[in-house]
């Protein structure tokens, strides 16, 4: 069970990385690809919805209780069963990190080890034992597809490893009565489409001793009419069709991959690693994942390189540089903005000052807009009493005439001066408002 492309420590690191990235399917897929490469002969995958009796069927065909059977979803690993003609019993398995491990060498203990609830987690295993199966025929027990998943997602991810199709020579779909449903039919059709060119057989079995052969015939006529040539019916009392099934499997044309099994499996592993790499690059782009050094340094070269480019440390460094550049740009922009703001402020302040001056002047002009006789008239009028009585009389007449003229002039000037004051007041108010408004727009740091 070796693979030339990746060393054991590389495969372990790959699986550890996959679990880190939440790609739980990877381990199962990878392990089965490695496992199938080691099997010389015809490989027949036994698939179906969960709890349709796949494992029970394999046990019947092997003639021993070798694969675990149960009420709850039981088969969690890809398990291959076959006979090499010798009486040697050997078993292999992988634990979570794909470390190869020899399992106890007896069928009973093998079954105990590969149970879902077993002490050690097994994702793929091989049992090569003495059985009624023809030599070179391998039956591969697979985890059941979840009914709810069929049709929604690809058949591959709903239990059966996706890459299995590339490594097998035939498929046996197990459907069980009662329980046979549209999902069984959908799964059978999907498998036919997914594995075009791979012979597909359907085993319709009675999961209940009360189901008779005639019930099965009726069911299969109704639902599997066009598949009748490859359908095998089995009840608890009549299992003769299973012998025919084994004969059909044994007489299949030469294995698809033959000597190329290892190469094909290698190709599958490679594409899985490519997927893993893509997923890793994708994940590293969105968030920083610390891949422990222990895993990183054991990874294959291509992944190490990909990881280097997306190394969280270098990403952090890049981020820091970008942040600094953005900060200094923001600083420069702030300074430039502040300078512009200050320039505008001084312009507005001088506008306010000018408006104040203007208002002041116009107010003074308005205030001064009184008859000019004012004080000087009364002073001269007082002095004119020296020449009494001519002086005051003359001065009074002059003053009366003069005052009348000046008053007229000042009255004529008053409206324009008043409007000038009002205008100046408005100008000043505007200038102050603009200045206040400008103050609220001071650039922030």
Ligand X SMILES: Nc1nc2c(ncn2[C@@H]2O[C@H](COP(=O)(O)OP(=O)(O)OP(=O)(O)O)[C@@H](O)[C@H]2O)c(=O)[nH]1
Say if residue 8 is exposed, middle or buried (CB neighbours under 10 Å; 0-12, 13-18, 19+).
Answer: middle
Q: 3-state SS of the chain?
A: CCCCCCCHHHHHHHHHHHHHCCCHHHHHHHHHHHHHHCCCCEEEEEECECCCCHHHHHHHHHCCCCCCCCCCCCCCCEEEEECCCCCCCEEEEECCCCCEEECCCCHHHHHHHHCCCCCCCCCEEEEECCCCCCCCEEEEECCCECCCCECCECCHHHCCCCCHHHHCCEEEEEEEECCCCHHHHHHHHHHHHHCCCCCEEEEEEECCCCCCHHHHHHHHHHHHHHHHHHEEEECCCCCHHHHHHHHHHHCCCCCCCHHHHHHHHHHHHHHHHHHHHHHHHHHHHHCCCCCCHHHHCCCCHHHHHHHHHCCHHHHHHHHHHHHHHHHHHHHHHHHHHHHHHHHHHHHHHHHHHHHHHHHHHHHHHHHHCCCCCHHHHHHHHHHHHHHCCHHHHHHHHHHHHHHHHHHHHHHHHHHHHHHHHHHHHHHHHHHHHHHHHHHHCCCCC
Q: Smaller CB distance to ligand X: residue 111 or 205? A: 205
Q: Smaller CB distance to ligand X: residue 71 or 386? A: 71
CB of 210 to ligand X, least distance (A): 9
Residue 411's binding partner among ligand X, Mg ion, none (Cβ under 5 to 8 angstroms by kind) is: none
Among 205, 256, 257, 298, binds ligand X (CB under 6 A): 205
CB of 53 to ligand X, least distance (A): 3
For residue 71, state whether it binds ligand X (rule: CB under 6 A): yes
Q: Which stretch binds Mg ion (CB under 5 A): 16-24, 53-61, 167-175, 344-352?
A: 53-61
Tally the C-alpha atoms within 13 A of residue 273's C-alpha that lie toward its C-beta. 23
Residue 70's binding partner among Mg ion, ligand X, none (Cβ under 5 to 8 angstroms by kind) is: ligand X
**What mask, x for binding ligand X by CB under 6 A, covers residues 219 to 258?**
-----------------x----------------------
Q: 82: closest CA among 38, 32, 134, 123?
A: 134
Interaction with ligand X in 373-412: which residues (CB under 6 A)? none
Q: Which stretch binds ligand X (CB under 6 A): 15-23, 50-58, 117-125, 194-202?
A: 50-58
Among 32, 75, 188, 231, binds ligand X (CB under 6 A): 75
Q: Smaller CB distance to ligand X: residue 211 or 306? A: 211
CB of 193 to ligand X, least distance (A): 22
For residue 231, state whether it binds Mg ion (rule: CB under 5 A): no
Residue 252's binding partner among ligand X, Mg ion, none (Cβ under 5 to 8 angstroms by kind) is: none
Q: Which stretch binds ligand X (CB under 6 A): 52-60, 101-109, 191-199, 297-305?
A: 52-60
55: its two tokens = 């494992």
For residue 70, state whether it binds ligand X (rule: CB under 6 A): yes
Total of residues contacting Mg ion (CB under 5 A): 4
For residue 117, state whether it binds ligand X (rule: CB under 6 A): no
CB of 4 to Mg ion, least distance (A): 32
Interaction with ligand X in 130-189: which residues (CB under 6 A)? 144
Interaction with ligand X in 423-442: which residues (CB under 6 A)? none
Q: Smaller CB distance to Mg ion: residue 55 or 145? A: 55
Among 87, 152, 209, 237, binds ligand X (CB under 6 A): 209
- d(CA 84, CA 79) in angstroms, rounded, equals 16
For residue 32, state whether it binds ligand X (rule: CB under 6 A): no
CB of 20 to Mg ion, least distance (A): 29
CB of 281 to ligand X, least distance (A): 35
**What mask, x for binding Mg ion by CB under 5 A, covers residues 71 to 100?**
---xx-------------------------
For residue 55, state whether it binds Mg ion (rule: CB under 5 A): yes
For residue 56, state whether it binds ligand X (rule: CB under 6 A): yes
Do 74 and 164 touch, CB atoms closer than 8 A? Answer: no
Say if residue 192 is exposed, middle or buried (CB neighbours under 10 Å; 0-12, 13-18, 19+).
Answer: middle
Residue 298's binding partner among Mg ion, ligand X, none (Cβ under 5 to 8 angstroms by kind) is: none
- Where does this chain bind Mg ion (CB under 5 A)? 54-55, 74-75
- Interacting residues toward ligand X by CB under 6 A: 48, 50-56, 69-71, 73-75, 144, 205, 207-209, 236
């Amino acid at each position: 069970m070796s693979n030339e492309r990746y060393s054991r420590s590389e495969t372990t690191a790959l699986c550890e990385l996959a679990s880190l990235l939440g790609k739980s399917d990877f381990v199962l897929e990878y392990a089965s690809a490695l496992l199938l490469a080691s099997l010389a002969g015809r490989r027949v995958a036994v698939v179906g919805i969960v709890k349709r009796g796949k494992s029970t069927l394999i046990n019947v065909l092997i003639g021993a209780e070798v694969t675990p059977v149960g009420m709850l979803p039981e088969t969690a690993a890809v398990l291959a069963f076959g006979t090499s003609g010798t009486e040697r019993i050997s078993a292999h398995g992988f634990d979570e990190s794909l470390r190869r491990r020899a399992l106890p060498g007896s069928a009973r203990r093998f079954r105990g080890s590969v149970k879902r609830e077993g002490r050690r987690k097994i994702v793929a295993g091989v049992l090569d034992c003495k059985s009624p199966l023809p030599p070179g025929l391998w039956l591969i027990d697979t985890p059941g597809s979840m009914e709810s998943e069929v049709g929604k997602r690809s058949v591959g991810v709903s239990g059966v490893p996706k890459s299995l199709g590339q490594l097998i020579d035939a498929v046996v779909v197990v459907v069980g009565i009662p329980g046979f449903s549209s999902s069984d039919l959908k799964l059978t059709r999907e498998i036919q489409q997914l594995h075009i060119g791979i012979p597909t057989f359907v085993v319709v079995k009675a999961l209940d001793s009360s189901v008779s052969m005639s019930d099965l015939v009726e069911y299969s006529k109704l639902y599997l009419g066009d598949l009748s040539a490859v359908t095998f019916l089995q009840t608890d009392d009549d299992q003769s069709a299973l012998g025919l099934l084994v004969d059909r499997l044994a007489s299949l044309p030469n294995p698809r991959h033959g000597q190329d099994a290892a190469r094909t499996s290698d190709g599958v592993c490679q594409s899985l690693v490519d997927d893993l790499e893509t997923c890793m690059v994708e994940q590293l782009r969105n968030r920083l994942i610390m891949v422990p050094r222990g895993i990183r340094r054991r990874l294959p070269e291509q992944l190490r390189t990909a990881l280097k480019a997306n190394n969280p440390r270098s990403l952090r460094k890049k981020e820091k540089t970008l942040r600094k550049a953005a900060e200094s740009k923001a600083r420069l922009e702030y300074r430039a903005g502040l300078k512009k703001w200050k320039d505008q402020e001084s312009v507005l302040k001088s506008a306010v000052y000018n408006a104040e001056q203007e208002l002041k002047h116009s107010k003074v002009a308005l205030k001064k807009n009184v008859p000019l006789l004012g004080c000087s008239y009364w002073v001269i009028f007082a002095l004119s009493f020296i020449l009494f009585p001519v002086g005051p009389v003359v001065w009074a007449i002059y003053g009366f005439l003069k005052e009348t003229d000046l008053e007229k002039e000042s009255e004529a000037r008053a409206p324009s001066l008043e409007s000038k004051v009002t205008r100046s007041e408005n100008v000043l108010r505007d200038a102050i408002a603009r200045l206040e408004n400008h103050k609220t727009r001071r650039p922030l740091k």
